[in-house]
């Protein structure tokens, strides 16, 4: 490990300076502190694992350099965008652009280096068929390099249609395909060698592999499910209304408690919003949020709609909307009418 540190001392010092620069850029943002702690800790652990692996000494210096620089560059980009958001830039568009183009660029860089990665226990497509067969390792990484390059370009193309759900689904599928197809290719290469009569000493526990596969599939399904989890329905009564939320707690408001109500369109684009306690996914945002306009407030909103009903309730702000503009206007008119009836 000392030999590796000495060999890559210049890259290590430079990468540390870059990650610290990124942290300093975004450290003024309260909600960015913990993500920066995560970046720094992850970088230290990742580099330590690479340097501790004896087979890393045989790796190409370019591969080791990519591994050293990957997290510092991501940290700098993330905090740069966070800084732009704090100065009033459109957070949603910046985040989506960073996600699509940043992931695409990362995949293309990784795809370029994958064929150069030598067999090891730390970096690359590390499955039992590649780790125990060097020919399988080399073939899988040559194929995966081309695959990751192509999927990186596809992720960038998704950025041209960033406001559509189809682009987001294609983006998620591309990321999953990068890992699944690479592993599948490695397995098929192994089966092909077995079919030709070549004897390979691959030792693995079929039960363990099966359980791991099931866990991986269930994890992927759960991850996709959480992206679309939830529902928001508003039930109106004579004296109050209740927001019935699947995925978060319900919320009841008496009409007499509402100090003011307004209908606003596209008002959240420069709010610098972030969730403090609640649920946020591709379809809904519900729970406790904070922004530069309202401070701490409560929201139950559909991501598909950019018009809102904003209410002040005993000094606390509540933001709601429907699935579309017409549904939001209906909510506004219904609550306004109920408030008027309450005053009579």
Task: Choose the final residue of a domain: 63, 89, 115.
Answer: 89
31 located within any domain: yes
Same domain, 96 and 82: no
223 located within any domain: no
Q: How many domains does the chain have?
A: 3
DSSP secondary structure code for residue 246 in this structure: E
Same domain, 44 and 77: yes
The structure tokens 């943002």 sit at 29
pLDDT surpasses 90 at 308: yes
**Which regions of the chain does DSSP assign to beta strands (E)?**
231-236, 240-246, 251-254, 258-265, 274-280, 284-291, 295-302, 307-313, 316-320
Res 124: pLDDT: 85
Nearest CA to 110 out of 75, 72, 62 is that of 62
Q: Which of helix, strand or coil describes residue 268?
A: coil
Same domain, 319 and 235: yes
Same domain, 159 and 83: no
Q: Are 273 and 321 in contact (CB under 8 A)?
A: no
Same domain, 180 and 235: no
Q: Are 80 and 25 in contact (CB under 8 A)?
A: yes
77 located within any domain: yes
Same domain, 107 and 67: no
Same domain, 71 and 137: no
215 located within any domain: no
Same domain, 144 and 72: no
Q: How many CA atoms lie within 13 A of 129 on its CB side?
A: 21
Res 156: pLDDT: 79
Task: Choose the final residue of a domain: 64, 89, 114.
Answer: 89
| Local confidence band at 55 (pLDDT 50, 70, 90 cut-offs) | low
Res 291: pLDDT: 85
The residue-averaged pLDDT of 119-145 equals 87
Same domain, 95 and 191: yes
Res 303: pLDDT: 86
The residue-averaged pLDDT of 209-230 equals 76
Residue 246: strand pairing partners: 231
Range of the domain at 57: 1-89
The pTM for the full model equals 0.53
Task: Choose the final residue of a domain: 39, 71, 89.
Answer: 89
339 located within any domain: yes
225 located within any domain: no
Same domain, 282 and 321: yes
33 located within any domain: yes
What CATH number is given to the structural domain containing 298?
2.30.29
Same domain, 41 and 81: yes
Residue 147: which residues within 8 A CB-CB, separation 6 or more? 111, 177, 178, 181, 182
* Whole-number Cα distances in Å, 137 to 6, 52, 56: 29, 21, 15
Same domain, 166 and 266: no
The residue-averaged pLDDT of 261-284 equals 76
Query: pLDDT by residue (tens digit) across 159-207?
Result: 777 556 677 788 888 888 998 999 999 989 988 888 887 766 666 666 6
135 located within any domain: yes
């Amino acid at each position: 490990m000392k030999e590796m540190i000495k060999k890559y001392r210049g890259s290590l010092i430079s990468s540390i300076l870059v990650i610290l620069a990124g942290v300093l850029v975004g450290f003024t943002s309260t909600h960015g502190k913990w993500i920066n702690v995560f970046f720094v800790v992850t970088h230290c652990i990742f580099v330590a694992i690479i340097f501790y692996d004896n087979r890393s000494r045989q790796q190409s210096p370019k591969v080791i350099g990519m591994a050293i620089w990957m997290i510092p560059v991501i940290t700098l980009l993330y905090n740069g965008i966070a800084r732009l958001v704090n100065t009033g830039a459109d957070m949603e568009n910046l985040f989506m652009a960073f996600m699509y183009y940043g992931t695409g660029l990362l995949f293309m860089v990784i795809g370029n280096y994958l064929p150069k990665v030598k067999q090891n226990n730390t970096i690359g497509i590390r499955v039992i068929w590649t780790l125990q067969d060097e020919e399988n390792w080399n073939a899988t990484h040559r194929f995966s390099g081309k695959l990751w390059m192509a999927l990186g370009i596809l992720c960038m193309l998704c950025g041209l249609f960033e406001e559509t759900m189809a682009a987001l689904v294609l983006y998620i599928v591309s990321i999953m395909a990068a890992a699944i197809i690479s592993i599948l290719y490695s397995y098929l290469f192994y089966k092909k060698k077995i079919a030709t009569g070549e004897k390979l000493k691959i030792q693995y526990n079929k039960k363990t592999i099966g359980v791991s596969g099931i866990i991986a599939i269930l994890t992927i399904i759960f991850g996709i499910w959480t992206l679309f989890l939830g529902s928001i329905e508003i039930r109106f009564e004579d004296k109050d209304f209740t927001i019935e939320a699947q995925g978060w707690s319900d919320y009841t408001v008496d009409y007499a408690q509402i100090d003011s109500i307004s209908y606003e369109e596209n008002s959240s684009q420069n709010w610098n919003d972030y969730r403090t306690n609640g649920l946020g996914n591709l379809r809904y945002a519900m729970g406790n949020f904070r922004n530069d306009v309202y401070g701490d407030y409560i929201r139950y909103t559909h991501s598909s709609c950019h018009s809102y009903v904003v209410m002040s309730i005993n000094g606390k702000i509540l933001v709601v909307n429907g699935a579309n503009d017409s549904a939001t206007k209906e909510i506004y008119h219904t609550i306004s009418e109920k408030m008027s009836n309450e005053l009579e």
